[in-house]
Structure 1
Amino acid sequence: MKNMKYLSVLLFYLFTFSPLTARDYVTVPGDKMQTRIYTLENGLKVYLSVNPEKPRIQTFIAVRTGSKNDPAETTGLAHYLEHLMFKGTKQFGTNNPEAEAPLLAEIEQRYEAYRKLTDPQARKQAYHEIDSVSQVAAQYFIPNEYDKLMAAIGAEGTNAYTSNDVTCYTEDIPSNEIENWAKIQSDRFQNMVIRGFHTELEAVYEEYNIGLSQDQRKLFYTISKMLWPNHPYGTQTTIGTQEHLKNPSITNIKNYFNKWYRPNNVAICMAGDFDPDKTIAIIEKYFSGWKPGADVKQPTFAALPPLNQPQDTTIVGQEAEQIWMGWRAKQANTLQADTLNLMEDVLSNGRAGLFDLDLNQTMKVMRAVGGSELLHDHGAFFLLGTPKQGQSLDEVKTLMLAEIDKLKKGDFPDNLLPSIINNKKRSHYQLLESNRGRANMFVQAFINEVEWKQEVESIDRISKITKQEIVDFANHFFTDGYVVVYKKQGIDSTQKKIDKPAITPIPANRDMMSQFVKDIQNAKVEPIQPKFVDFQKDMTKTEVKKGLPLYYVKNEENGLFQLTFRYEFGQSADKRYDVSTEYLDFLGTDKLSAAEIQQKFYELACSFYTNVGENVITVNLSGLNENMQPALALLEEVLNHAQVDQKAYETLVKRILKEREDDKKDQRFYYAFLCQYGIMGPRNAYRDLVSEQELKETQPQVFVDLIKNLSTYEHSVNYYGPMDVKELTAIINKTHQTAKQLQAVPQNKHYEKQVAQQNEVWIAPFDAKNIYMRAYHNENRDWHIDEAAVQAVFNEYFGGGMNGIVFQEMREARGLAYNASAYYSRAGRVGEKESFYTHIITQNDKMMDCINHFKKITDEMPASETAFQIAKEGLTKQLASLRTTKMGIINHWHAMKDLGLDFDLNKKIYEDLKTVQLKDMVDFEKANMAGKPLRYLILGDEKELDMKALEKIGPIRRLTTEEVFGY
């Protein structure tokens, strides 16, 4: 009895007072990320990977649902919902949820009636009534409270994306804010409230408009329809149809949310600096009460119809001609993915694949690539080709299919497969250096239902695939059952003109704040102590031969290195280097052909590239450090012994000229050129090119000699890697070739920003349903370092992100744009001037609304103490958790040196932020932006724009395409 009594007491203490053990989790042997995978009782998956490099965490919340799951009558719904998830809950985003609720219910019912109407006048009246009710509901709406919450905790990268199978929400948070983040997200994912609907819907429509001029989207949608004609991958798009976007159903969105946004259909994916045991306890605390869904099983669809012979179609658009080809493949979680992955690199690995060497290296085409797209239900293998000047799409097709035939015959080097494996290992190491890369791997595995063990062991499995197995697979896979899309140049007559809706702007209510936001702001967390770069401690400065400075940071993490030779001159000193470095990619030496050079670098799992900036040229070598010395020797041979290839030069000239013409047809490229012209004037980095006449008249030896002359100029050596300084110095001294006497580099002739001295409008022609517009101001103001903190918090407050004034006013309140921003730009080097700009992409008939309201908020910037404190607190937390590491330390040193500084500017901004007040920022904006003359740079179709209204702004200068591009 005595012993039994003793035993019962012992058991009581053991079971009552023993410490709690961590929740069970799954790991996989050999996983370099040391991933822990948890499954809560409600089915929520949690992937955790610790990376202590900096005190921040990349978080993804992935929902296994996307446009595939949209109801056929309301396509685009998953994407709508992604946007609406930022509008808040009953706890935030509103100042009175009880009073707001019946108004939101009325709006929902009115939309259900509206979407059934067909008479234009009846629809117009119904939309007016929706707008009126929305105005009443808006008095309770606090826009952007989610973004205020994220700013308050110092989050960065607040965003989301939707695709076929996934809707994913992204945040990069300081590592001390896990609990606040979890509290916010758990409320958001369980209690989402749809508000601010009609203005956000218009922002989605503007996103649709932007895509109308992007032929890549048309190509993907078209080839998907041909491959999967009876599956949602092919029958509906992520953005949705024009008709469905204008006839939404809030009821359907709610039903969709209630079905798919359930814990047993969601994964939380985190990588960064955290304690996994504490983190999973926090997640369980806030997410365990989330009720699982009764049915979150993915829908099944009918079998695809047979595809036994080639099928083709043609689409048109303004951008350069292309051809896409596609073969069906199995879904992502099958082991076929291993073979497709390997076969992709045999064909097109960017350096030594069949396409790379036979088509791109020889410039038989403008560009050719191949690769797989593996989704949850189906997959595909694509070939993408762009013709060179005078070449037909069918000729590109024939050349690509000839490479497929070589693959089928095994006509590729035996050592290519081992080289691919080495490069995959290198890529995996690089991925591990990124929290975002790690977390994204978790998302893809979860969404596609790939076992983590299968993912971890993929490189080992791939390394066992033989050449004969690849050949056999290729012969089985590449049949006549493929599809072809010809993308030709022309005007797409299917694009419809859209009239702007009659939306009454809703109030920003930026001085309002819910109690939930206040509680998050006042939550006590252990502060992160800032750690800024100390160049004396964090970087070694020494010399190699000829007195060349060496900047060195040791890699303590893995076997990768980066080596950069940096020359302090660039395009502004000699525009010919841009052609020289491009030509170099197609040249061999007296010992090796161009193809052999690419193959040798690839075998070494190393790569090099040259970059010509406006004021700096860099030669960059990176890869496996164990192969650095032979890779450097090979690089030196290329730089110093390149041989002229006349035929390659002539082909390159044609390629360059075609690229230049193609740029004119791409709205995004054209806009970039227009901004450069409007801000920098005729002499700018985009126009300061070797002319067509100069290209044709210059002997190619001139361009080869320019590369060889680099060895005669002073430069710095920059290294991040595992090698110690002594060993590195010895290798550099032995291998790096320089002239006996180094000369000073050519002097840069900097491109200078133009002064905007009066209101004026510069317009360039582009036939599209929307405009790209920038308003630019510059009065040649010098940069003052003591204003750096004020400028930084102004950019955060006014134009920075979704919590900024611009986003709130232009998108949230008015639905004028999907893409809008503003920025006060400080100098990047000594002598450079400051400037300011606003930017927007909008529908043609919204142009003047955008201009007028941008002017209003810059002439009298809305001043809110509440919003200012959030912006200031968020910026402070971002800086405190900022860590400049790896090669970034050396690059930051050069950036600071360009400003004439020998210390980290971020440290001064952080310290000065403590004393910055709202008045300081308001005074700065009034002095430097309010009422200032603006140069409006507009890319659009003049026939569709209100030119009379533009004339009232100032003189109109109509630019030709030749003026903008310089050719």
Structure 2
Amino acid sequence: MMNCKTIMLSALSLLATATWAQSYHYETVKGDPMQTRIYTLPNGLKVYTSVNKEKPRLQTYIAVRTGSRNDPKETTGLAHYLEHLMFKGTTHFGTSNLAAEQPLLDSIENRFEQYRHITDPVARKRWYEKIDSLSQLAAKYNIPNEYDKMMASIGSEGSNAYTSNDVTCYQEDIPNNEIDTWAKIQADRFQNMVIRGFHTELEAVYEEYNIGLSSDGNKEWTALGKKLYPTHPYGTQTTIGTQEHLKNPSIVNIKNYFHRYYVPNNVAICLAGDFDPNKAVATIDKYFGSWKPSTTLSRPEYAPVADLKQHVDTTVVGQEAENVILGWKFDKAASDQSDTLSFISDLLSNGKAGLMDVDLNQPMKVMSAGTGVEGLADYTTFIAEGEPKQGQKLEEVRDLMLAEIEKLKRGEFDENLMKAVLANKKLNMLRGLSSNRNRTEMMKDAFINGESWQHVVGQLDRMSKITKEQIVDFARRHFLDNYVCVYKRLGNDTTIHKIEKPHITPIPTNNDKHSDFLTAVVNSKPEPIQPQFIDFNKDLAKGKMKNGAEVLYKQNATDDLFDLSLVFPVGRENSKQLQVAADYLDYVGTATRSANDIKKAFYQLACDYSVSVSDDETRVSLSGLNENMPAALKLMGDYINHAKADAESYNKFVGLTLKSRNDAKGNQRVCFSALRQYGEYGPYNGFRNKMSADELHKANPQQLLAQLKNLGKYTLLYYGATPMKQLEATVAKSYPCTMKTTLPAARRYTRTTTTQNEVWIAPYDAKNIYMTQYLNENKQWTPEQAPVNALFGEYFGGGMNAIVFQELREARGLAYSAGAWLTTPDRKGDPECFNTYIITQNDKMTDCIKEFNQLLNNMPERQAGLDLAKQSLMKSIATARTTKFSVLNAYLTARKRGLNYDINRVIYDKLPSLTMADLVKFAKENISGKPYRYIILGDEKELDMNTLQKIGPVKRLTKEEIFGF
């Protein structure tokens, strides 16, 4: 039942000088584990609140109930572009003289309206030059990044936004003592937005569009929408928009859109964290209460999309791995169909015991197969996706997945599976409560999809009442030959055409200017939050088991969940066979249990397991319901110590492994990861150090599995409710400790030094490049360097307020993503390194290199930026809290670096005394005029190779070299 409560807030909870009281009504739902309150202010603004006291921070979402679904047909991509412009300032910040700036902005707006109707290329170029010139005049008054500076000053983390079909959402993770300042900024932003810096930000959107051209997944999703929703914006227009519309933007349309949808009765503020909801809603009312609602709020409405009479096939091509997607159309996300669809998805695919897991993935009949549900405001899409084995046709994968759905329709599944699905959904719900972001996501989805909170909270209860007969009946009625099938095949996509780079004169960053609004925010002094650093002598317990294993223990007094890891100090540097053994384990059973039996047993226990291998350690991990921990641990110990290989499963596994490796060569991001590893470590690196195809074929699979039970002495990490002595006895019984490993000594991966400027380039056919400049002079990291390293990273290359982002994106529109950072080594004795990073269009590469090097060799000195960077770091550290299982991992991480204390304490204590002179000295000694290795993934045919050859010797690498096969 929905309960209505009334809270009387005293004058002190509203304004210190107020002499009146305000009453706020809120709604709650009985049995809500998040204890959510939903307020509705007089202007219609919704405020969702949920308290989680784990750390003194607050996740904030401001969700606008509009997205690309509501884009005008003639300017698609508008909602997304507006999202970008919302960071550019208001009538109060982002400008040094609004009165002088406004006429210029109006003129730019008018010129863009004319520009979008010009078709002659020469005339368009001339007109754009006029816009560019006018933008230079307006830019004299523009103060870029003031929003980012304010967010940095209050210690916000994860400052971002996104746009989708039905929503535009603005996100900040703030200290809980900054809610007043945050609300003040956001209220001004949503009521007084000004469109400025238009043409440079448009370039960032172009870059985002061009990056998306390389994603075959984007193509598939677009193709699915076109066929499944041919008369609805879900299928007729994309969030990023069309190329033609991005070339011809309309500021007029953007303003109209903003005034139509960015109104309080179309917005929800979602808050989760450690705060007082009564005071929070009063603060929000204080700043947002004057926001005028719309009396004519509406959105475009569309006739119902007709059901398909038979399945429809469509095909997209590209470089990435082949796969096939099936999609069915269902009712909106807020309907009760969503309960059944979620249930069906987990019955078919849950990673362990679903029909597709058991019948297709485990016996390796396909590369992979799975299902999912995307619920939107108007419709829900049920998805089945499969990847083929080597030589397997996509049509066969399709038929195998359809056969599993037919099996569901015939009721060929155990009711115990239904019970296990419910148990695991409850487990995931409990896990989700620890995440403020997860809480705000749920609130946001409910608001955007028009779903009552009572309906959200009641989902598990409703699902617990669904019977097998109802599942079967639903599947029989809805999963018919009415789906869309998208085949993703290998091929050259000739339809890809990037948006060409227009000429843009860099705008000034005006870092010597600041608005009064910014000054007030930076100088605000809320009651400070005191930092809490980990004390490794108090915040965890340490012990030793009788078998010699070290124990790191932390008690969970909050819930019935546990996390446990057995950490063995051997990894890929000891044996490249370890990763293969861990991967192959997933496909074998024991003499008494099949692989499927084992997965089903874990799923029924509502426990997850994994065996992960890193460079220098192997982890056997368990998590789930603590009452089932002993049974899960016993199951895991028996599994690893008695795993039984067989030739048939191993040969299939090798086939999947080799295909997966080959598929990776078609993925741009994976290729860049492989290239970076090669560029930084040389040919002996973690990416290449794999068993070859010949070694895989010749290996004895039982001997491979035997490595997993001969890893030597482990360290036990545990967070849960079981007392330490009882835990030790349980673990010793289920998982005996081998004192010595049979694996060879480690051969460490070693970063190569850079002694001269040089270019290492590997091929990838795309409209953009990925590039990093790598520097390693083999300087050893010491904890004393940590404060200046941290401050330099925040000031120079860290986020949207950093030098790199401001100069390369904001001032010049050269990239969508750019940054720079110092690498703190994971292990004592390893060197610290420096990297830049950028994704940009091929024809912008030369400009990017030039500008990046200007910044590296002559780091701009901006005292205000330094002060903000320092303020941001101090507040972030003060409000950080390492809790639960993370405390144990933090201890191990510190120990690997040779530390027995929390390094954040050193940074926090030293930051106040650091000066610009310290940073200038640091830059001159560590990044300026240094020999860099330019590591570039791109298509030589579209790059200015003359510029690269002038940098230094060019080393061309093949995909075979960087992948090692």
Q: Same fold (TM over 0.5)?
A: yes
Larger deviation: 39-48 or 720-729? 720-729
How far apart are the structure 2 equivalents of 1:551 and 1:131? Answer: 61
Q: Which moves more between the two structures, 155-164 or 274-283? A: 274-283
Shift >6 Å, 4+ stretches:
none
Match of 1:585 in 2: 586
Note closer, same or farther for the CA distance 1:21–1:194 as it changes in structure 2 (3 Å cut).
closer
Distance in 2, Cα, partners of 1:616 & 1:775? 29
- Partners in 1 of 2:912 and 2:340 — Cα distance? 56
1:789 aligns with 2:787: yes
The SS at the match of 1:292 is coil
Partner residue in 2 for 1:204: 205
Whether the 8 Å CA contact 2:567–2:715 is kept in 1: the answer is yes
The answer to whether the Cα contact below 8 Å between 2:326 and 2:484 also exists between their aligned partners in 1 is yes
Please give the residue correspondences for 1:557-568 in structure 2 after superposition, counting only pairs within 5 Å.
557-568=558-569
Superposition deviation, residue 414 in structure 1: 1.7
Q: For residues 575-603 of structure 1, what are the alpha-carbon distances to aligned partners after superposition, in whole Å with 9 as ceiling and x for unaligned?
A: 11000000000010111000010000000
Residue 855 (structure 1) shift: 0.3
| Cα distance, 1:103 vs structure 2 | 0.4
Residue matched to 2:141: 140
Q: For 1:19 and 1:835, how far apart are their aligned partners in 2?
A: 59
> Do structure 1's residue 812 and structure 2's residue 810 form an aligned pair?
yes
| AA aligned opposite 2:838 | I
Once residues 745 and 827 of structure 2 are traced to their aligned partners in structure 1, the CA distance between those partners, rounded to angstroms, is 15
Aligned ranges 1:67-86 → 2 under 5 Å: 67-86=68-87
Deviation of 1:742 after TM superposition, in Å, equals 4.5
1:423-442 deviation line (CA, Å, top 9, x unaligned):
01100011000001101100
Counterpart position of 2:431: 430
Residue 659 of structure 1: aligned partner: 660
Alpha-carbon displacement from aligned partner over 1:165-212 (angstroms, at most 9, x marks no partner): 000000000010000000000000111100000000000010000010
Letter in 1 for 2:731: I
Partner of residue 767, structure 1:
765
Question: What amino acid does structure 1 have at the position aligned with 2:809?
Answer: R
**Secondary structure of 1:732's partner?**
helix
* Map 1:266-345 → 2, pairs under 5 A: 266-345=267-346
Q: Distance in 2 between matches of 1:52 and 1:763?
A: 49
After superposition, give the CA deviation of every residue in 1:420-468 in whole Å (9 maximum; x if it has no partner).
1110110001100000110110000000011000000100110110111
Amino acid at match of 1:733: A
Return the offset for 1:745.
7.1
1:65-102, CA deviations, whole angstroms, 9 ceiling, x for partnerless residues?
00000000000000000000000101111111111000
Residue pair 1:755, 1:777 contacting (<8 A) in 2 also? yes
Give the superposition deviation at 1:523.
Answer: 1.2
Q: Distance in 1 between matches of 2:75 and 2:377?
A: 22
1:31 pairs with 2:21: no
One-letter amino acid of the structure 1 residue matched with residue 732 of structure 2: N
Structure 1 residue matching 2:415: 3-state secondary structure: coil
Q: Separation in 1 of the partners of 2:912 and 2:720? A: 37
**Gapped regions of structure 2 (runs ≥ 5):** 1-17
Q: 1:250 is matched with which residue? A: 251
Q: CA deviation at 1:22?
A: 5.0
Partner SS state of residue 54, structure 2: coil
Amino acid across the alignment from 2:411: G
* 1:801 and 2:802 are equivalent in the alignment: no
The 1-side partners of 2:142 and 2:36 are apart by 41
Match of residue 929, structure 1, among 924, 927, 930 = 927
* Residue equivalent to 2:681: 680
Contact 2:548 2:737 survives alignment (8 Å):
no
Partner residue of 1:544?
545
1:106 is the counterpart of 2:104: no
What's the CA shift string for 1:592-642, capped at 9, x where partnerless? 000010000000000100110011111100000010011111001101011
SS at match of 1:25: strand
Task: Answer whether contact 2:589 2:643 (CA < 8 A) is retained.
Answer: yes
Secondary structure in structure 1 of the residue aligned to 2:709: helix
* Cα distance in 2 for residues equivalent to 1:464 and 1:306: 29
1:492 counterpart SS class: coil
Residues of 2 paired with 1:427 and 1:224: CA distance? 30
> Match for 1:134: what amino acid?
S
What CA distance in whole angstroms lies between the structure 2 residues aligned with 1:108 and 1:549?
67
Report deviation, 1:744.
Answer: 8.6
1:369 and 2:367 correspond? no
**One-letter identity of the residue aligned with 1:787:** Q
Is the Cα contact below 8 Å between 2:329 and 2:381 reproduced in 1?
Answer: yes
Give the Cα separation in 2 of the matches to 1:815 and 1:742: 57
Is 1:723 aligned with 2:718? no
Match of 1:894 in 2: 892
Task: Give the conservation status (yes or no) of the 8 Å contact 1:544–1:732.
Answer: no
Q: 2:575 touches 2:743 (CA, 8 Å); kept in 1?
A: no
Tell me if 1:470 matches 2:468: no
Q: For structure 1, list consecutive stretches of 5 or more residues without a partner in the other structure.
A: 1-16
Distance 1:30 1:727 in 2: 33
The amino acid that maps onto 1:807 is: F
State the distance in 1 between where 2:40 and 2:300 align.
23
Report the secondary structure of 2:353's partner residue.
coil
- Answer yes or no: is the 8 Å Cα contact 1:511–1:867 preserved in 2: no
1:129 paired with 2:130, answer: yes
* Residues 233-244 of structure 1 aligned to structure 2 (within 5 Å): 233-244=234-245
**1:876 and 2:874 correspond:** yes
**Contact 1:714 1:745 (C-alpha < 8 Å) held by counterparts:** no
AA aligned to 1:641 is H
CA-based RMSD: 1.2
Aligned length: 948
**In 1, are the aligned partners of 2:91 and 2:98 still within 8 Å (CA)?**
yes
Report if aligned partners of 1:67, 1:164 keep a CA contact under 8 Å in 2. yes
Could you say what secondary structure the match of 1:340 adopts? helix
Aligned partners of 1:22 and 1:277 also within 8 Å: no
For residues 224 and 554 of structure 1, the distance between their equivalents in structure 2, rounded to whole angstroms, comes to 49
Of residues 942, 945, 961 in structure 2, which corresponds to 1:944?
942
SS of equivalent residue, structure 1 residue 717: strand
Q: Which residue of 2 aligns with 1:603?
A: 604
TM superposition shift of 1:303: 2.1
Tell me the residue number matched to 2:265. 264
- Equivalent residue, structure 2, for 1:8: none
- Per the TM alignment, residue 784 of structure 1 is displaced from its structure 2 partner at its CA by 2.3
Output the CA distance in 2 between the equivalents of 1:707 and 1:26.
53
Distance 1:361 1:18 in 2: 69
SS at match of 1:708: coil
Distance 1:784 1:700 in 2: 43
CA–CA distance in structure 1, aligned partners of residues 220 and 825 of structure 2:
41
Give 1:50's aligned amino acid: V
Post-superposition shift, 1:497?
4.3
Q: Deviations over 1:190-239 (max 9, x none)?
A: 11100000000000010000010110000001101110000000000000
State the partner residue of 1:396.
397
State how far apart, in whole Å, the 1-side matches of 2:297 and 2:239 are: 20
Matched with 2:962 is 964
The structural deviation recorded for 1:803 is 0.5
For residues 458 and 544 of structure 1, the distance between their equivalents in structure 2, rounded to whole angstroms, comes to 44
Equivalent position of 2:825 in the other structure: 827
> Counterpart in 2 of 1:524?
525
CA contact (8 A) 1:76 1:244 kept: yes
Q: Which amino acid aligns with 2:878?
A: A
Letter in 1 for 2:936: I
- Measured after TM superposition, the shift of residue 743 of structure 1 is 5.2
Determine the C-alpha separation between the residues in 1 that align with 2:250 and 2:330: 35
Residue 782 of structure 1, CA deviation: 0.8
1:21 CA drift (Å): 6.6
**Contact 2:574–2:743 (8 Å) recurs in 1:** no
The offset of 1:543, in angstroms, is 1.7
Deviation digits for residues 301-325 of structure 1 (CA, Å, limit 9, x no counterpart): 0121331101101111110111111
Q: How far off is 1:729 after superposition?
A: 2.3
Q: Which residue of 2 aligns with 1:735?
A: 734
Counterpart code for 1:463: S
SS at match of 1:364: coil
Correspondence for 1:858: 856
TM-score by length of 2: 0.97
- Following the alignment from structure 1 to structure 2, what is the Cα–Cα distance between the partners of residues 625 and 568? 26
Q: Indicate whether 1:752 and 2:750 are aligned.
A: yes
2:819 aligned counterpart, secondary structure: strand
Q: 1:534-555 CA distances to partner (integer Å, 9 max, x unpaired)?
A: 1111101112231211101111
Q: Which deviates the most, 551-560 or 227-236?
A: 551-560
Q: What corresponds to 1:508 in structure 2?
A: 509
| Structure 2 counterpart of 1:885 | 883
Q: Which amino acid aligns with 2:954?
A: I
Rounded Cα–Cα distance in structure 2 between residues aligned with 1:749 and 1:886: 33
Amino acid at match of 2:763: P
Aligned-residue sequence identity (percent) comes to 55
- Give deviations 1:670-729, integer Å, cap 9, x for gaps: 01100000011100000000111100111111111111213xx11100001122223222
Distance 2:185 2:745 in 1: 54
CA distance in structure 2 between the aligned counterparts of 1:369 and 1:885, rounded to whole angstroms: 34
